Amino acid sequence: FEITQLLIAHGLEDLIDGSRLRGERTVDAVKTWTKDNAKAMSLISSSMEQTQLQGLITCRSAYEMWQSLVRTYEQRSASSKLLLMQRYHEYRMGLNDSVVEHVTHIKNLVSQLRDVGQQIDETDIMTKILGSLPAKYNTLVTAWDSVPLSYQLVGNLLERLIKEESRMAGEDEIAGALATVSLNKKKGMKNPRNQKNRKSRNDEKR
C-alpha cells in the first residue's frame, strides 16, 4: 500500500498496473518511459528490505518487480491463511483460562483470519466458542440450542458463560469447604489425645 501511494505521488502508478509498457514507441516516448521506469524501480527498491530484493534482481521493469511482489504476497497470504485456519480449528479452551480469555482468544483469531480474506460470521464464532469448551460446560451448550435465534449473539453467549463460570466456582468453593470440615473431623477422631479425653469422659460417666 505504501509503495502504491509513493508511486502515485510521483505520477508513476501506470508503470505497475500495466497501462504503460515500453512497447514500440517513438524515440522520445522510449526515453521518457526509460527514465520513469528507472525512477519507479528505484522507489520500489528503496521501500524493500535487503532480503526482499533478492527476488527482484532479474526484473527489468517496474511492472515486473510489481508482479513479482504481488505473487510473493499472495503466496504468503495463502500460507498464512492456512496456518491461521489450522490454529482456529485446533484451538481449545485451556484448563486455567477464564471464559473471557477463551472468547477473546477466538475473537483475535477471527480478526486475523478476516484480515487475510477469510469470511467468518457470528454463527461460526458461537459454534467455535461452544465447541471448544471443556465438558463441564455441556449443560450450558445443550441449553443454548433452545435459546431464541434473535438472542443468539456472541455478547449474550459470553454473558451466560460468565454466569455459569461464577456458579460453578461457587459450587467448587462450597465443596472445598465441606471437604475441609470432613477432613478435620477425621483428623480429630484419630488424634490420640482426643481419644484419651473421650475415654476419660466415658469412665467418669460410669
Using the structure block, give the residue that is written with the C-alpha cell 483460562.
97
Cell of 137: 460446560
Residue-wise pLDDT for 84-143, tens only, equals 999 999 999 998 999 999 999 999 999 999 988 899 999 999 999 999 999 999 999 999
The reply to whether 16 and 62 lie within a common domain is: yes
Judgement on whether residues 67 and 100 belong to the same structural domain of the protein: no
What would the pLDDT profile of 109-120 be if each residue is shown by its tens digit?
Answer: 999 999 888 999
Is 43 in contact with 7 (CB distance < 8 Å)?
Answer: yes
**Total number of domains in the chain:** 2
Determine, yes or no, domain membership for 120: yes
Q: Which of 49, 75, 101 is the last residue of a domain?
A: 75
CA distance to 31, 100, 101, 106, per residue, from 96 (Å): 68, 12, 10, 16
- pLDDT over 90 percentage in the chain: 49
Nearest to 126 by CA among 114, 144, 108: 144
Convert the pLDDT of each residue in 65-88 to its tens digit: 999 888 888 887 888 889 999 999
- 161-195 pLDDT, tens digit each: 999 999 998 775 665 655 565 566 666 666 555 55
Residues 98 and 51 in one domain: no
Dihedrals phi, psi of 123, to nearest 5 degrees: -65, -40
Q: Does a structural domain hold residue 83?
A: no
| The pLDDT of residue 83 | 92
Indicate whether this model's pTM tops 0.75.
Answer: no
3-state secondary structure at position 134: coil
Range of the domain at 168: 91-183
Indicate whether 132 and 52 sit together in one domain.
no
